[in-house]
Amino acid sequence: MNYFAHALPYLSDPYFLAGTAVPDWLSVADRSVRVRKRLIDSYLSRFKSSELAEDDPEQQYQAIARGTRQHLEDDDWFHRLPSFVEISTQLGRDFRTAIGPDDGFRAGFLGHIVTEMLLDRTLIQQVPQLLERYYQVLSELNYERIEQGVNKVATNATDRLAPLLPRFLKERFLQDYLDLEKMLFRLNQVMRRVKLPVLPDYIVEVLESSSQIIEERHTELLPASVLKVIQKKKEIS
């Protein structure tokens, strides 16, 4: 799962929503920092929300921690799905055919990450108005407070997260997923970040065929909480 799929059920809980993006933000801002369930649970066990004043920052720190834990739990569930294994493997084979048989690692990585990116693309196509709400909610948060909350449950402290968040909101790269050429540009940013060779322009053709697979089977890749949001929004519309 990627940013939007993680976030959709939590648009009314701002700092929890931010927490669902934390592991992905850290992979961009500071790859030396990790968040772990055991650290999150240890932190949360020290407090009871009922004991905290309404304006206590700990309320927000705990929401961030719970959102981060939700992301980790979502990923554990998602990566074990037979459908995810099947689809990401199929996409990996398609990328391997396109870029050559001697590039197995890159193709496998692409099968995994493109499945997640295209799943977000499909969701954005279905509920574009909720993408606007997602960015609006994040724009109203205190970025220093998010960083402080993350440092309470991370393997080591970072001072690189808060500066990333205005850039994340300004670039709005999730919107680019709707245009496959722009999506390829974003995908190549990831490739550079993980020090893998960038992809040629003709890979857009693989993205097109892959997007059709994800569109046809996306409900197999989503938890009930996300499917419920999508269905509710369609009924209202």
pLDDT digits (tens, 9 = 90+) for 56-73: 889 999 999 999 999 999
Let me know: does 203 contact 94? Beta carbons within 8 Å: no
CA proximity to 132, closest of 7, 1, 232, 37: 7
Instruction: State pTM to two decimals.
Output: 0.94
Q: Which long-range contacts (CB under 8 A, 24 or more apart) does 104-113 make?
A: 105/196, 106/191, 106/196, 106/197, 109/194, 109/196, 110/187, 110/199, 112/88, 113/187, 113/190
pLDDT, position 10: 98
pLDDT digits (tens, 9 = 90+) for 78-118: 999 999 999 999 999 999 999 887 666 789 999 999 999 99
Q: Which residues contact 200 (CB under 8 A, 6 or more apart)?
A: 99
pLDDT, position 100: 83
How far is it, in rounded angstroms, from Cα 59 to Cα 152?
Answer: 13
Q: pLDDT tens, position by position, for the chain (237 residues)?
A: 999 999 999 999 999 999 999 999 999 999 999 999 999 999 999 876 556 666 788 999 999 999 999 999 999 999 999 999 999 999 999 999 998 876 667 899 999 999 999 999 999 999 999 999 999 999 999 999 999 999 999 999 999 999 999 999 999 999 999 999 999 999 999 999 999 999 999 999 999 999 999 999 999 999 999 999 999 987 876
Give how far Cα 67 sits from Cα of 7, 80, 146, 185, Å. 9, 20, 11, 29
Collapsing DSSP to helix, strand or coil, 196 comes out as coil
